[in-house]
């Protein structure tokens, strides 16, 4: 029992650091953007109204939608948009057209995640460093350079993994939450009447008397729920109970106290609107607070970068991106990975965002549209999961998700007003990634169709070969093939050029499924083809790490014994040639051909031993 309690405490502390780092740093800029936008006249009633909207936005979107409802939609213990997409597509697999639409919507939401992944570190770190301007106006010219130095350091250390510094995330973020709560309480004590803003009547009164203003400022109010998606995405790392416990005991109370403290400060000193968070602190505490805020925003950004690596790996497994160089940074935790292309691609885009927008207020215009669209997509997918997977009555499903759909749609509509002020930036990034994903998926389908059309039936071919068999050599040949039951090009080339056949021959197909994990007991399907030849299918979930040699160890005792020292792996390295009148527009075929050419080798991705791999090339027109 004591061990269980300590484990829960450790997981809860971890959840505070990783899950709530992003939403925890939103206090740096959310209130400032609402009142600094110029859309809300500064009156006592408006301060109460805005704070009430903040509190109930946190309650409805985070506490009720994500913590209570969405966390229930786990895919074998895993969360996140990819896991939700897999659940929804499986739920409607008997409705192929609807399934295709949901897959496209879900993949677009996943692509938008990268747009969010650019804006969030930029606005978080920049808003923290801007605290130096409160210390002294002389520091203003140093804000951009210092922000870029901090961000470069963050991305530079990614290749070393987070196992060494990850243990500090929870304690530092917990310290951050305690500090912002204390800052809030110190000002609430001077104006305790501000707590009346918890009453939803203040929010309703503000919305009733100023509907136009409400619609406009919702684009800034949404800043208070930045990182809410992380709640669901990190479900597999921490579990439901620690995430819920961390929210209701630490994150939510600390955020509420700080927002209300900022409101109390504004009642006493309206001029503090230029940066209410930092102006809550006494002069002696400003520099330590800037340092702590910078550390907290770096941790929040780290969680998002790690999420980008994980999502990329999952999308590759689902077949929407080409294989990339994926490096494992921990021998104990297989989930800790580093993808150089994603890491430095994100860094370049973030530098562009910081240099282009130059302040957290300008970046606030870019923030929100991608996040609210992702929230809307999550709500839509949730409906299909609870309706078709959980088989709840239609009326209950509409009631459960309809309210959240309207809330998300309202926030998204408000954020479209910021499209020209910077909202185009994350949409442009998301749209570009979505184009790459759909081009790769469609291109792979065309390539497989071409391979199937030109393929030879494996069983018939083997029967013909063994009528007058070639010379058999000692050892095992493993032929990797995309389609089971067809003759791999690598085998045809091997017979043509080397005129030999190995003593044992395995024809291996790797299948990726729309579930997070597939255990070793379900990993391998094996079928004997006679003449010491076997058809093998290896099954992986989108969070499994493909490892062909290890998986093939599972066939020991099933008629085929492998000796690692006598096993060779044969792969076909296909070169794609775009052709006029194919299945895609010419520019997309050229893009696919380039992506196919630049994809990392299958040998590395499948963990094949370098000294046992033979690659044989061929050209294929699509």
Q: Is residue 431 part of a domain?
A: no
What CATH number does the domain containing 14 carry?
A: 1.20.1740.10
> Mind listing the pLDDT tens digit for each residue in 32-43?
999 877 778 888
Rg (CA), the chain: 27
Give DSSP secondary structure letters for 311-344. HHHHHHHHTSS-----EE--SS-TT-EE-HHHHH
Cβ-Cβ contacts under 8 Å for 341 (sequence gap 6 or more): 324, 325
401 plus 498 within the same structural domain: no
Tell me: pLDDT of 435 over 60. yes
Domain finish residue from 381, 404, 422: 422
What does the pLDDT read at residue 582? 64
- What does residue 206 show for φ and ψ, rounded to 5 degrees? -60, -45
68 plus 183 within the same structural domain: yes
526 plus 470 within the same structural domain: yes
Choice among 55-69, 340-354, 580-594 with the minimum mean pLDDT: 580-594
Cβ-Cβ contacts under 8 Å for 97 (sequence gap 6 or more): none
> Mind listing the pLDDT tens digit for each residue in 189-213?
999 999 999 999 999 999 999 999 9
What does the pLDDT read at residue 105? 93
Q: Phi/psi class of residue 441: alpha, beta or left (left: φ > 0; alpha: ψ in -120 to 50)?
A: alpha
Helix, strand, coil percentages for the chain (3-state, nearest 5): 70, 10, 20
470 plus 403 within the same structural domain: no
Average per-residue pLDDT for the chain: 88
Tell me: pLDDT of 427 over 70. yes
> Mind listing the pLDDT tens digit for each residue in 563-596?
888 899 998 877 777 776 667 888 898 899 899 8
Tell me: pLDDT of 232 over 90. no
Choice among 163-172, 235-244, 392-401, 449-458 with the minimum mean pLDDT: 163-172
Domain finish residue from 399, 422, 445: 422
**Of the segments 164-173, 274-283, 365-374, which one has the largest average pLDDT value?**
274-283
Task: Please state, in angstroms and rounded to a whole number, the distance separating the CA atoms of residues 536 and 526.
Answer: 5
Q: Is residue 489 part of a domain?
A: yes
What does the pLDDT read at residue 331? 59
Tell me: pLDDT of 333 over 70. no
Tell me: pLDDT of 622 over 60. yes
Q: Is residue 525 part of a domain?
A: yes
25 plus 120 within the same structural domain: yes
Q: Is residue 447 part of a domain?
A: no
Closest of 166, 178, 161, 170 to residue 15, by C-alpha: 170
Q: Phi/psi class of residue 149: alpha, beta or left (left: φ > 0; alpha: ψ in -120 to 50)?
A: alpha
Which residue range is the domain that position 41 belongs to? 2-422
Q: Is residue 437 part of a domain?
A: no
> Mind listing the pLDDT tens digit for each residue in 94-138?
999 999 999 999 999 999 989 888 988 999 999 999 999 888 888
Q: Is residue 81 part of a domain?
A: yes
User: What does the pLDDT average to over 333-358?
Assistant: 88
User: What does the pLDDT average to over 6-34?
Assistant: 88
380 plus 475 within the same structural domain: no
The proportion of the chain whose per-residue pLDDT surpasses 70, expressed as a percent, equals 96
Total domains present in the chain: 2
Tell me: pLDDT of 411 over 90. yes
392 plus 504 within the same structural domain: no
User: What does the pLDDT average to over 608-613?
Assistant: 88
What does the pLDDT read at residue 39? 79
410 plus 486 within the same structural domain: no
Q: Are 50 and 36 in contact (CB under 8 A)?
A: no
- What does residue 359 show for φ and ψ, rounded to 5 degrees? -155, 155
Tell me: pLDDT of 77 over 80. no
What does the pLDDT read at residue 266? 93
182 plus 304 within the same structural domain: yes
User: What does the pLDDT average to over 21-47?
Assistant: 88
What does the pLDDT read at residue 332? 58
User: What does the pLDDT average to over 421-443?
Assistant: 93
27 plus 172 within the same structural domain: yes
What does the pLDDT read at residue 538? 94
Task: Please state, in angstroms and rounded to a whole number, the distance separating the CA atoms of residues 200 and 528.
Answer: 69
Cβ-Cβ contacts under 8 Å for 484 (sequence gap 6 or more): 507, 509, 535, 537
What does the pLDDT read at residue 497? 82
Other C-beta atoms within 10 Å of 269: how many?
12
Domain finish residue from 401, 422, 443: 422
CA dihedral 540, 544, 549, 551 (to 10 degrees): -50
What does the pLDDT read at residue 163? 60
417 plus 459 within the same structural domain: no
Task: Please state, in angstroms and rounded to a whole number, the distance separating the CA atoms of residues 77 and 40.
Answer: 43
Q: Are 462 and 554 in contact (CB under 8 A)?
A: no
Tell me: pLDDT of 274 over 80. yes
Q: Is residue 180 part of a domain?
A: yes
Tell me: pLDDT of 334 over 60. no
Other C-beta atoms within 10 Å of 406: how many?
11
366 plus 485 within the same structural domain: no
Tell me the pLDDT band of 5, cut-offs 50, 70 and 90.
Answer: low
- What does residue 478 show for φ and ψ, rounded to 5 degrees? -110, 115
Other C-beta atoms within 10 Å of 97: how many?
8
Would you say how long the chain is, in residues?
622
Tell me: pLDDT of 530 over 80. yes
User: What does the pLDDT average to over 437-448?
Assistant: 91
Tell me: pLDDT of 3 over 60. no
Q: Is residue 463 part of a domain?
A: yes
Cβ-Cβ contacts under 8 Å for 587 (sequence gap 6 or more): none
């Amino acid at each position: 029992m004591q061990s269980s309690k300590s484990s829960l405490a450790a997981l809860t502390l971890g959840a505070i650091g990783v899950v709530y780092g992003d939403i925890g740093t939103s206090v740096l800029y959310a209130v400032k953007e609402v009142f600094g936008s110029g859309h809300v006249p500064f009156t006592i009633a408006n301060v109460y109204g805005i704070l009430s909207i903040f509190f109930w936005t946190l309650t409805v979107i985070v506490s009720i939608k994500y913590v209570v409802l969405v966390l229930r939609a786990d895919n074998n213990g895993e969360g996140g948009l990819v896991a939700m997409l897999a659940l929804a597509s499986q739920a409607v697999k008997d409705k192929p057209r609807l399934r295709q639409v949901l897959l496209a919507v879900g993949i677009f939401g996943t692509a938008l995640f990268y747009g969010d992944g650019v804006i969030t570190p930029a606005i978080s770190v920049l808003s923290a460093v801007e605290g130096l301007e409160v210390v002294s106006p002389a520091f203003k010219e140093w804000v951009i350079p210092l922000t870029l130095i901090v961000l470069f350091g963050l991305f530079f250390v990614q290749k070393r993994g987070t196992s060494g510094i990850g243990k500090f995330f929870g304690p530092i973020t917990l310290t951050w939450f305690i500090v912002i709560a204390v800052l809030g309480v110190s000002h609430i004590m001077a104006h305790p009447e501000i707590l009346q803003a918890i009453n939803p009547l203040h929010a309703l009164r503000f919305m009733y008397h100023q509907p136009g203003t409400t619609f406009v400022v919702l684009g800034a109010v949404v800043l208070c729920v930045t990182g809410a998606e992380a709640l669901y995405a990190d479900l597999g790392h921490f579990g439901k109970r620690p995430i819920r416990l961390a929210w209701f005991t630490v994150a939510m109370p600390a955020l509420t106290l700080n927002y209300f403290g900022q409101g109390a400060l504004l009642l006493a000193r309206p001029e503090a609107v230029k940066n209410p968070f930092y102006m809550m602190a006494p002069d002696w505490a400003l520099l330590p607070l800037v340092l702590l805020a910078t550390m907290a925003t770096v941790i929040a950004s780290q969680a998002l970068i790690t999420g980008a690596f994980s999502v990329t790996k999952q999308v590759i497994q689902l077949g929407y991106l080409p294989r990339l160089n994926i490096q494992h940074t921990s021998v104990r935790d297989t989930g800790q990975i580093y993808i150089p292309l994603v890491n430095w691609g994100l860094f370049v885009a973030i530098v562009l965002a910081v240099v282009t927008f130059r302040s957290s207020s300008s970046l606030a215009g870019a923030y929100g549209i991608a996040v609210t669209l992702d929230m809307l997509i999550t709500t839509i997918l949730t409906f299909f999961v609870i309706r078709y997977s959980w088989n709840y009555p239609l009326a209950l499903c509409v009631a459960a998700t309809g309210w959240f759909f309207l809330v998300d749609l309202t926030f998204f509509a408000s954020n479209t007003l910021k499209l020209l002020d910077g909202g185009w930036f994350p949409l442009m990034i998301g749209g570009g990634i979505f184009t790459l994903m759909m081009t790769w998926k469609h291109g792979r389908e065309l390539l497989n169709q071409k391979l199937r059309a030109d393929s030879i039936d494996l069983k018939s071919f083997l029967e013909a070969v063994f009528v007058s068999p070639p010379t058999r050599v000692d050892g095992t040949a493993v032929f990797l093939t995309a389609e089971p039951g067809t003759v791999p090009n690598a085998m045809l080339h091997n017979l043509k050029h080397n005129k030999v056949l190995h003593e044992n021959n395995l024809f291996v197909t790797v299948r990726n499924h729309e579930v997070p994990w597939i255990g070793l007991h379900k990993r391998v399907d094996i079928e004997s083809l006679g003449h010491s030849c076997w058809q093998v299918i290896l099954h992986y979930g989108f969070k499994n790490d493909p490892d062909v040699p290890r998986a093939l160890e599972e066939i020991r005792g099933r008629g085929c014994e492998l000796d690692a020292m006598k096993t060779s792996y044969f792969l076909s390295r296909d070169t794609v040639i775009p052709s006029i009148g194919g299945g895609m527009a010419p520019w997309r075929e050229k893009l696919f051909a380039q992506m196919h050419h630049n994809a990392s080798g299958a040998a590395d991705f499948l963990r094949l031993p370098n000294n046992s791999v033979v690659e044989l090339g061929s050209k294929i027109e699509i």
